[in-house]
Structure 1
C-alpha cells in the first residue's frame, strides 16, 4: 500500500493486484482480419488526409454488434481499443474495419446504471511501456487502472472517486503535456463539486503514475478545475486549449473552456448565470438537455465535435481565438444515441452509437462504429 499526497483529498491510493478474470486472448492483441474475408465484418475503403476536415457525407461502418461501447482509444497501429461498459471487455477494432475482438477483460468492473467500464486512454509512450489506462466503476468507487494487453493484473493508479448509479463521469485522456486528465461526476452529491477535498465533480490532472501533476493549481492536489456536474468529454485544440462537455440537470448542457483553477459553478449555477463577481466561469456553449446530453468530444482542425445521447445527433462547434461560432446539428436522428467521437491517426472521425445501453432504441447491428474520412 502507498499513499498519494493529494492536498485536501485524503484519499488512499491502493496499488494492488486485482484478481484476474477473463483476460487477454492468448498471444496478446488481436490481429487484423483482411477486409472482405469471411467473418471480417465491415471494411474501410475511403482514404483520409490528416489535417483535413471529416466528410460527414461519406460515412463508412467500421464495426458492429458491440455492446454498450463507451471509451475508445487508438493504438499506434491505427487499430482502436473500445470499452464495453457492462461486460468489462476491451475489444480491438482493426483500423481497416472488421469484427471487434476481445483482447482484455478488466477485473472488478461493477456495471450498474451509468457505471461500468468507461473511459480508455493509450499511453503516449505506448511503444515503450505498452500501457492502456481505464476508468471503471467497482463495488466501492470509481478508479483509474493501467495494464498491458498481455498482463492480466492491472495496477490501480488512482482510486477513491465516489460512485453511484449515475453521474460517474468517466472520460480520461492524455493531454499535450503528457499528463492524464480525468473528468469525474458528482455521483449525486452535488455539494462535492464545490469541495476542493473531494475528487468528484472535478477535472483531475495526474502524472501517468497517478500522482498530482506538477503545476496543478494547488500543489499536491490532483484538482485541475472544479464545479462540474458530470464531465464526459475532453478535447484539446491546436493551441493546447482544453474543452470539456458537461451534462446539465434539467435545463442546460454545456461546453466549457477549461482553465486551471477555475470554478464552473455547479450546483450554484447551471448554464450561464450569475458569476458571483467572477467566482464562477460561464460556459461557451449551452444546449437544452433534450438537444444534447453530451458525452464524447473531439477536435479536428478548428471544429469541436460533440456526441449527443438524448439529442441523437453530432454537434459541430466552430472554434476561434475569441470563443465559439454557432453550433450546427449533424446526423440528427440517423443512428440513435451517440456516445463517443474521436479522431483517428489518419485524421478520420470515428463515432460510436449507444443504443444498447438500456436507454436507446436498438437497431439491427447496434452498437456500431462509424467512420468519416478526412478530406
Structure 2
C-alpha cells in the first residue's frame, strides 16, 4: 500500500541517468526505429464494456488547417490552460514563469514566477491546469521540478494586481514524485469527474514503474486537495495505472474515457487507453506485447516518428503532438481502438510540437517547442497556433 507523500530515494546523477536510461524521453530512442517506417497498428485490449454497440467512427482521412499564429516569442513553453472567457495561460519550463496570452491579439502578460522551480534537463515548470471551480476559487495548479522532487502546487491568480505579481504563494498539493535529469512526467489535467490526474515518469529508475508503492512511472488520480481520489483501484493509494515510462499527455473523449501518450525508449512510443488498475508493461514491455499481464497500446510509433507529448480529443479523433517526430498525429477512434491508420500532419513545418489543447468545436491550440535546447529555433519561436481539424 502506498503512503501518501512518502519520501523517495535520491535519484542518480544526471550523467549516470543518461547512460543507463538508453535515451532522452523528449527525443525518443537513439538506437532503434527507421525514420521512414510507417506506424504499426495494434490490436489493444479494450476497456469498452462487453456487448456495447460499435460507435460511429470518424472518416479514415482527416485534415488540418493552420488558421493563424496566435502568439510568438515564447521561451520554452510547456503547459497551456485556456481561461474561461478568453485568454491562455502558458508555463515556461526554463524560466519558471506563467504568462497570459491574449488569444485575439497575442499580447503577453507575465503573471509571475513560480517559486522553488529548479529547471535542468527535462525538469522545470511543466504542466498547468485550472481548478474545476476556477470561476469561484481562481486557483491555478502547476507541476514542477524542485531541488528534491517533482510536485504539484496550486496558486491564487489575481489579475487585478500588477503584472508579475498576480500569482499567490504556492500551496503544495502533492510532493515526493521522483525527479531526474530525464523522465519527469509533468502533464496534469482535471478529468470530467473533477479529480486531478497526474502523469509521472520513472526518472530513469525503471524499477519504479512496476512498484505500486512508488508514484514514479504512473498516472495518479487525486482530489483537488491532493488526497487519493475516492474509487481509486488500490486502497488508500493515488495510483490509477502503472507500468508507464514517462506519461506526457492526458485527454478524455466524449464518453469520458481516458487516454495517455507515453515515451518509449529505443523502439516504440505509445498511445494508451487507460483502465483503472491496469499495468502498461514498462520496463518489461515496450509497445505491443504478447504478455497478457500488460494492457497493450491503442497504437505505437517508432521513436523517430513521434516522441509524443500532449494529446487532445476533437472531431472523433485523438490528436497527438510529436517532439522528435515534428508532426501532429491524428488517431481516429472507435471506442478505445484506432479505427484506421494514424495520419500525420504539419510534418517538419513548425519543428517540435509540445502541447495540443481543445479550443472548442473543430479547433485546437498547438504549442511548438523549439527553444527547449533540443530544437532549432527560427525567428518567432516558440509559437501558439490555432488549427482547424476534421
- Asked if 1:103 is matched to 2:103, the reply is no
Q: Contact between 1:169 and 1:230, CA under 8 Å: does it hold in 2?
A: yes
Shift of 1:124: 1.3
Partner of 1:362: 377
Q: How does 1:306-317 map to 2 (within 5 A)?
A: 306-317=320-331
Q: Contact between 2:4 and 2:238, CA under 8 Å: does it hold in 1?
A: no
Q: Which of 275, 284, 304 matches 1:259?
A: 275
- Asked if 1:9 is matched to 2:3, the reply is yes
Partner of 2:367: 352
Deviations 1:226-268 (A, max 9, x none): 0000000000000011010000000000000000000000000
Deviations 1:170-219 (A, max 9, x none): 00000000000000000000000000000000000000000000000012
Partner of 1:298: 312
Q: Distance in 1 between matches of 2:65 and 2:223?
A: 39
Shift of 1:55: 6.3
Q: How does 1:180-329 map to 2 (within 5 A)?
A: 180-275=196-291, 278-321=292-335, 323-324=337-338, 325-329=340-344
- Asked if 1:131 is matched to 2:139, the reply is yes
Q: Contact between 2:288 and 2:297, CA under 8 Å: does it hold in 1?
A: yes
- Alpha-carbon distance change, 322 to 231 in structure 1, aligned in 2, over 3 angstroms: closer
Q: Contact between 2:273 and 2:336, CA under 8 Å: does it hold in 1?
A: no
Shift of 1:10: 5.4
Shift of 1:56: 2.0
RMSD: 1.6
Shift of 1:101: 1.6
Deviations 1:34-65 (A, max 9, x none): xxxxxxxxxxxxxxxxxxx9962243000000
Q: Distance in 1 between matches of 2:257 and 2:315?
A: 13
- Asked if 1:338 is matched to 2:346, the reply is no
Q: Which of 128, 139, 142 matches 1:120?
A: 128
Shift of 1:347: 5.0
Give secondary structure in 2 for the equivalent of 1:59.
Answer: strand
Q: How does 1:158-177 map to 2 (within 5 A)?
A: 158-177=174-193
Shift of 1:98: 1.2
What TM-score comes out, normalization by structure 1 length? 0.85
Q: Contact between 2:243 and 2:281, CA under 8 Å: does it hold in 1?
A: yes
Q: Distance in 2 between matches of 1:97 and 1:249?
A: 40
- Alpha-carbon distance change, 192 to 330 in structure 1, aligned in 2, over 3 angstroms: same
- Alpha-carbon distance change, 251 to 57 in structure 1, aligned in 2, over 3 angstroms: same
Task: Answer 1 or 2: higher relative contact order, Cα 8 Å, separation at least 6.
Answer: 2
Hey, which bits of structure 1, 4+ residues long, moved more than 4 A? none
Give secondary structure in 1 for the equivalent of 2:135.
Answer: helix
Shift of 1:121: 0.4
Q: Contact between 1:217 and 1:261, CA under 8 Å: does it hold in 2?
A: yes
Q: Distance in 1 between matches of 2:168 and 2:137?
A: 15
Q: Distance in 2 between matches of 1:338 and 1:243?
A: 18
